[in-house]
Structure 1
């Protein structure tokens, strides 16, 4: 990935890198999981903004969501499985089942309201 903002999510925040090989294992985790399809942050700088949003969301929803960063090499093969059409996108799943997604960068309130709704619906 070689992007400082996204690397911080992986290194400091402890978000795992999700690959085609380990995606099912990640989806089997308890609770709500969020897959972060970043795209190439050099081409899609809004990926950095979404990464910052994810860091902040962990304080708003402590222990309620688990974020996995989709490896760029696996994105193209995993996009169809999760209905991802654009990047960056956050895909919310519970027990491997699709709950919803949030494409591109949005207003902060959109993330809060949609995440609350996804948590309540799941």
Structure 2
């Protein structure tokens, strides 16, 4: 069963649920900018639920510049991490036009989230 804070991301906020290779490809590899939360297991990692609260605020701070998705099935957590080669959870992985452009692993303070997100998006834009 999915924790209510994680379920809220898809049910209330409309984030895309990524739970298999097909939904991963459809969300991450499409045109535009996307951010995928790989939350990890909330029963084993207390930071997972922090991410579920913080990251909606981050998306809003960037005026929904990027679409948000979440690995919604714990069974797909490891395959998703293998695809992006980012192992710590929770992790936020950024994509632009089908290419992985950066990530933010673990919980950070607010200013660090803002600075890292801006750096990822700006560096990829300049490339």
TM-score (norm 1): 0.91
- Structure 1 residue runs of 4 or more that deviate by more than 3 Å after TM superposition: none
Do 2:47 and 2:106's aligned partners in 1 also have CA atoms closer than 8 Å? yes
Alpha carbon RMSD of aligned pairs, Å? 1.4
* 1:110 correspondence with 2:98: no
Runs of 5+ in structure 2 lacking a partner? none
Runs of 5+ in structure 1 lacking a partner? none
Match of 2:81 in 1: 79
**Number of positions where the alignment pairs a residue of Structure 1 with one of Structure 2:** 122
Do 1:38 and 1:87's aligned partners in 2 also have CA atoms closer than 8 Å? yes
Do 2:51 and 2:90's aligned partners in 1 also have CA atoms closer than 8 Å? yes
Distance in structure 2 (CA, Å) of the matches to 1:78 and 1:58: 21
TM-score (norm 2): 0.88
CA offset digits 1:44-81 (Å, max 9, x no partner): 12111111111111221113111111132112112122
Distance in structure 2 (CA, Å) of the matches to 1:96 and 1:84: 17
Distance in structure 2 (CA, Å) of the matches to 1:64 and 1:28: 16
